[in-house]
Structures are given as C-alpha cells and as structure tokens.
Structure 1
Amino acid sequence: MEARDTPEFADLLLPTNRSKSAPLWSQVKSALSQLILKGELSEHAQLPSEAELCLRFGVSRTVVREALSQLVNERMIYKLQGKGAFVAGRRDEQDFIGTTLSFSGELADKSKTVSHRNLRQEIALPNVRMCKLLGISSDTPVVVLDRLLSVDGHPRFIVRCALPEHFVPGLDKMPMENRSLYDTIGRQYGIRLVRAERWIEATSAGPEEVKLLQVPLGSPLLGIESVGSNDRGEKIEYYTSLYLTDRSRLHFSVVAPNF
C-alpha cells in the first residue's frame, strides 16, 4: 500500500519546530529518516507528494526538496521520473565482483532464493570481443548461455556467457534452467575457475532490459564484463551482464601491491 493512502502515516508527519536551531530541511529529513528506520514505511512504499509534505510539515517546497535530495544521496529513498519518491529497499552487500564466486552461489550462501531463466542456449561462433578475451580464433565454436537471474522472485541480473565448446562439450544440450553454471561445469567437466578479470561501467536500461528486469526505460544499471580462468591459466568463461543494483551494493577488498 502506498504511504499516502495510510491515515496512520499522515498522522506521524508533524509540523517542524521553527524555534529549533536545526535547519527546517534537516528536521524534515530527520523525521522521514526515523519513519523509514523504524519500519513505519515499508520497502518501496511511496512517500506523499512534495505538496503534501509541505502541508504536513508547514514548510516550503524548497525545504522539502532539499530534505528529499539528502535522503536520495544517503540511499534511503529513490525517485522515479513522473511518479514520485519511494523508500529504498534494503541493500545486500555482494562480493562476487571481487572474487571468483558466482552471483547465484554467493547469494545462496546468504539464504536467498535464486532462480535462472534461460533466454538462449546454443553453439555459436564468437564475436570479436570474445575472441580477444578468450584468446580463441573466430572459427572456434562457443557454447552461448544467456539467462535472467532473479532473487527472491525479483529480476536482478541479465548475464550472457560464452565458453569454448571444447572445454564443455554437450553443455548446449544440458538442462540449465535453475541450475548454477559454475556448479555444473565443476561437476560435469571438473572445471574450477580460480581467477577472473572484470570491468565495470555505468549504463542504463534499454527496451530489452525494460521487459526483462521490469524497470522503467533509462533506469541505471551496472554493466559488467568478465573473463575467468582455471588453475592452468586457460580462459574458460567470458560473460557480459547487466545488473540492477536497487536492492544491493557491491563490495570490494583492495590490497596494496607488493613492491
């Protein structure tokens, strides 16, 4: 239910105290923060409109906008163009970017339910980028596996993998719906990835991502490119992915190089 439709919520919004030394925007921000932290507002609940907040707090729209801006910066709320402000979901910390763990494997360790929906699974020829990062020729067949990963029923991640077929013969025919790729190649082919190089960039949702991830056009996404190697230095897996970070944040451990 949206916050604006809940009478109890409206009663919690009290006018600001102009005798206090704290700026009015800070008082508004603090009041909304407390409601969010105490659970009075559930994840993704819609906040009242700016006009309603002005009325409830007895302040100007400039004050309300500053308070909301601060809450956005602190990732307590988010805004959708033309729709308003919403309470941000709790963000799980994820370490898969800085390790050879798979996305689904890491979340399974955190008691999350991860599901995989196959979008494409077949043998194809590699593109130029695959050839470069996997160190293969343009006529080397690869098994392509494109999937949509969801966490607790919410679409989170579109990942497009390519593995040289000679490492994983028959993978194109193997049932992979709701199966971990890393677990499968470990059990079936004895492959264990021990090293990965990854590149990350900011991007946004296009028409295909809108449909698959169920987000508005232009929503911010994280683009990830990766190439993984086994203990012999053979490059086994190449993938690109688009990652929706509204419910999570990525964690890195950085170590100073030895001189």
Structure 2
Amino acid sequence: MPTLGLGTWENEDPAQCAESVRTALEMGYRHVDTAQIYGNEAAVGEGIDAAAVDRENVFLATKVWISNLAPEDVVATAEASLEKLGVDAVDLLYVHWPAGEYDPEETLPAFDELVDRGLTERVGVSNFEPHHVERAMDVLDAPVFANQVETHPFCQQSTLRAHADEHGYELVAYSPLARGSVFDHDVVRDVAAARDVSPAQVSLAWLAEKGVTAIPKATSEAHIRDNWESRSLELSAEAVARIDAIERHRREVNPDFGPDAWE
C-alpha cells in the first residue's frame, strides 16, 4: 500500500472529485481512498478512468457503511460499489465502523466471501480499537490488512500504533492534518518555518516517520502537490520529539467517540 494517498471524504462535487483524483494520479499518487457513505464512488471511478495511469497501478480502497454490514448487504453493496467505481475489484475493502449492523461473527465471513470471489484483495477495518481488531482477527480467514483511524499530531494514537506493530497490520491516518488545525499550532509552524516547508508537509512527514500511511483530502492542484512533496521531507530527531510532546490528545472528527483506549 503506498504510504501517501488521496482522501476523498467531503469531496462531494462530482466534477471536482473526479478532477482531483485525476490530478493526483497524474502527479504520482497511487493510492485513492473513498467510502460508500461519501457518495462519491462514481466520481472517484471517473477520475481513475480519466487519468493516464493504468488501473493495475492504483491502490483503491473503499468502505462498507454501518447500515450495510448485515452479511447479505455487505455482498450486495460491495458489488454496487464496484459498479460505481467502474472496476472489477478493489485493493482494500474496509468495515467503516464497528457499529450499526456490525456483528463480527455475521459480518466478517461476508468479507471473506468477497476475497474468495476476487472482488477485494484485502480486508481492512476502520475506527476499531485494539479489542475490536483482535476479535476481527479471530473471526476472519483473511488477515486484517489495515485499521484506518483519525491520526495526527494532536491525536497520536500511540496505543494503536503499538498494537499495529505488534500484530502486523497497517495503520492508516484519516484527517492527518487535523482538519487544518496543524496549520495554526506553534510547534508545527516553527518546524515548518525552520525547513521552509508547509505545516501540512511537517504533519505528513511526522506520520511517515511513525510508519503511518496518510490519506489527506485535497482538491486543488496546489494542495495536492504540497502534500505530495512531503515525501521528500525528513524531519530531525529533535523536530519529531517536539511534535511527539504535543499533549492535546484531541480528535477533530467525532470528538466524543471512544473511551481512553484510543490513547
């Protein structure tokens, strides 16, 4: 899985979404993330189709929404997602939340069925705490490939990062720029100024140093490029330590979700 991808949450204008996907892929991105609930799978598919990049070179992920997690709905809506995306299979299919119709013993065998049928290569989970991940591992025949959670300098997910390392799955960061809050934090801004880069690049480079894959949303070519250029930024140990020491522990998305197990 490429360690920097394009997120598409809240990229709701079809033309803009398709164009941002095309722009990102032609710039060099090879990882695109969407979800059923985003309402933009068709636009994402159009962007992939329009890009001068072979489909086989794009790591494409989508997520099954919580109301679709009964076994028969998993299969039916996953098939519908593939049709909207215009692809035969996705590279990664996530359980979007352990909520709604989610029942590990009922839901997860349907994901295994999709793997067996070749409709997804990998199974992921999203917004799972460690005990949710471990239960999924027990039930699934396929390995849990990734857990996608909000992760950024103000919500560092140290517990989940350690759990991912221990159990051999990827941690994927949504909202890696804290919905823009990183732009205004003194530490992030100081590190960025010292290197003559943007705070966005600093946040993304910090995540990369932690071994976390980031999927920042961006719609303009300038922001897509700025995020992409974070790949060449290597932070000093001192800069990483300064960011590690930020103690806000605040999520910008769903701030009331989850107990202390998140951190």
Tell me whether the two structures share a fold, i.e. TM-score over 0.5: no
Give TM-score scaled by structure 2 length: 0.23
Bigger relative contact order, structure 1 or 2 (CA pairs below 8 A, ≥6 apart): 2
Q: Based on CA coordinates, which of the two structures has the bigger radius of gyration?
A: 1
Richer in strand (by share) = 1
